Amino acid sequence: MTTTFPLSQRVQRVKLSPNAAASARAAALAAQGRDVIALTTGEPDFDTPEPIKQAAIAALARGETRYTPTPGTAALREAIQAKYARDNALDYPTRQIIVSNGGKQVIHNAFAATLDGGSEVIIPAPYWPSFPDMVLVNDGTPVIVPCDIGAGFKLTPAALEAAITPRTRWLVLNTPGNPSGAVYDAAELGALAAVLRRHPQVLVMLDELYEHIWFTPEAPAHWLHVAPDLKDRTLLVGGASKTYAMTGWRIGWGAGPAALVQAMVVIQSQASSGPNSVAQAAVTAALESPDQSFVAQARAAYARRAALVTEAINAVPGLTLLPPGGSFFAFVHCGPLIGCVRPDGRAIRSDADLTEWLLDAEGVAAVDGPSYGLSPYFRISTAASDAVLRDATARIARAVAALRPPQAAGARVREAEAAA
């Protein structure tokens, strides 16, 4: 007998993370013996640096295994304070810093603390899929603004102005961006700031998880250097996962106005309390280490891989990749392939069909564009070894080469009908 449970409207508004769903399908096929290259998840292929792991072991030896303060340990918040002073020339007292179970919880806390029914959040697309769902689960309304390859995947001032209403509560900015790798320059940020100054009710959420993974000639301009007057309306979201290859340690942080951060602490106190004690000790060591060479070495590797993938993808007829300015993703335009036909006669009617074909034909797991709010595209992670990425892009090229153009497919159907 199947038992049904009444589910809240809240949970029915949202869906399982598409990245997780695609990864699960790839894992299931691999478990069946298929040769699969999974490029679905933004996870560094590097191991956490040894000194960071040793700091965790030392914390265990010291008995740091008890509850931690809800906003994070004093030591880690002081390390984050020092990081902002050192890396960004920004001053954040520790009372304006919260440590959470990953950057995702920081974002959730912020929305939970500020959104009511009818509140709107402007989210440029392509976007990280959790942004709109976290708005929905907190009773808000996502306002999606498409920013396609022609716009460099970046929000324009005109599009921002058109999206703002009296109900707008937040603008979400993600730079370097996931999935596009887009990086805003100082002039672009300044133009957005000029719009926001006319709308004082709008807060800014700046997702900086890929802050140290940039491929531009110089480090990207910081939002609060361009618009320091908007600091009291801005929440910075950071974390250790991408910078230090610490995805499983689940430590992220937010820095923002004191009243907002304190409200987020209240939310966290009833959701999870303080984050893991040992993980916080490890991240403290990572931030305080005088040797930050791992960060630079990893960035150089990601830059090399981005260039490798860009060259390989742009050599495939029907695919276009705007060179990423940062992060470790490639958001590939595949519009010319929509309408093509697989060797088995099935049409490629969408980017979802194309990602299914890449997996079926060559064992390359990607995520379709609609998961990020924009079609026709697909995303692959470039956080894999050079050898894996060469293999993956060669497989993608073979899968695309096996497709028949729509005209050719139609002609063959007509020839078969005439012969019959």
Domain count along the chain = 2
Pairing outcome for strands 234-239 and 203-207:
parallel
Residue 31, CA distances (Å) to 18, 183, 342, 366 in order: 20, 38, 25, 17
pLDDT of residue 2: 63
Contact 189, 227 (CB under 8 A): yes
In this structure, what token pair is assigned to residue 287? 């931030």
pLDDT of residue 55: 98
Q: Specify the amino acid at residue 280.
A: Q
In a domain, 62, yes or no: yes
Q: How far apart are CA 362 and CA 376, in angstroms?
A: 20
In a domain, 2, yes or no: no
CATH code for position 317: 3.90.1150.10
In a domain, 171, yes or no: yes
Residue 383, CA distances (Å) to 80, 241, 242, 326, 338 in order: 25, 13, 10, 12, 27
97 and 199 belong to one structural domain: yes
Name the residue among 142, 96, 414 with its Cα closest to residue 259: 96
68 and 29 belong to one structural domain: no
Name the residue among 213, 255, 239 with its Cα closest to residue 383: 213
17 and 72 belong to one structural domain: no
Q: Please give, one letter per residue, the 3-state secondary structure of 263-278.
A: HHHHHHHHHCCCCCHH
pLDDT of residue 1: 52
In this structure, what token pair is assigned to residue 363? 């064992």
131 and 274 belong to one structural domain: yes
Name the residue among 289, 279, 292, 288 with its Cα closest to residue 56: 279
111 and 156 belong to one structural domain: yes
- CB atoms inside a 10 Å sphere around CB 9: 8
Quickly tell me which residue has 């050192």 as its tokens.
86
CATH code for position 221: 3.40.640.10
In a domain, 417, yes or no: no
In this structure, what token pair is assigned to residue 138? 């907190």
In a domain, 3, yes or no: no
Name the residue among 258, 242, 241 with its Cα closest to residue 250: 241
Q: How far apart are CA 264 and CA 257, in angstroms?
A: 11
39 and 120 belong to one structural domain: no
Count how many residues are written for the chain.
Answer: 420
In a domain, 272, yes or no: yes
Residue at a domain's end among 237, 255, 288: 288
Contact 384, 364 (CB under 8 A): no
123 and 270 belong to one structural domain: yes
Task: Provide the Cα torsion 323, 381, 103, 167; round to 10°.
Answer: 60
The alpha-helical segments, DSSP class H, found in 71-166 are 74-88, 103-114, 130-137, 157-163
91 and 209 belong to one structural domain: yes
SS3 255: strand
Q: How far apart are CA 51 and CA 313, in angstroms?
A: 37
Residue at a domain's end among 257, 288, 319: 288
58 and 80 belong to one structural domain: yes
Contact 109, 103 (CB under 8 A): no
Q: How far apart are CA 138 and CA 109, in angstroms?
A: 9
Name the residue among 83, 98, 73 with its Cα closest to residue 288: 83
Taking only the tens of pLDDT, the chain with its 420 residues reads: 566 888 998 889 888 777 777 777 878 877 888 899 999 988 899 999 999 999 999 999 999 999 999 999 999 999 999 999 999 999 999 999 999 999 999 999 999 999 999 999 999 999 999 999 999 999 999 999 999 999 999 999 999 999 999 999 999 999 999 999 999 999 999 999 999 999 999 999 999 999 999 999 999 999 999 999 999 999 999 999 999 999 999 999 999 999 999 999 999 999 999 999 999 999 999 999 999 999 999 999 999 999 999 999 999 999 999 999 999 999 999 999 999 999 999 999 999 999 999 999 999 999 999 999 999 999 999 999 999 999 999 999 999 999 999 865 444 444 434 444
pLDDT of residue 413: 43
221 and 269 belong to one structural domain: yes
What are 208-219's pLDDT values in tens digits?
A: 999 999 999 999
Residue at a domain's end among 230, 263, 288: 288
For 18, the domain range is 9-46+294-411
216 and 118 belong to one structural domain: yes
Q: How far apart are CA 190 and CA 48, in angstroms?
A: 36
Q: What do you get for the CA distance between the two ends of the chain, in Å? A: 52
126 and 150 belong to one structural domain: yes
Name the residue among 297, 281, 288, 279 with its Cα closest to residue 241: 279
In a domain, 93, yes or no: yes
The residues pairing with 204 across neighbouring beta strands, listed in sequence order, are 171, 234
pLDDT of residue 411: 46
The verdict on pTM exceeding 0.75 is yes
In a domain, 420, yes or no: no
Q: How far apart are CA 262 and CA 94, in angstroms?
A: 11
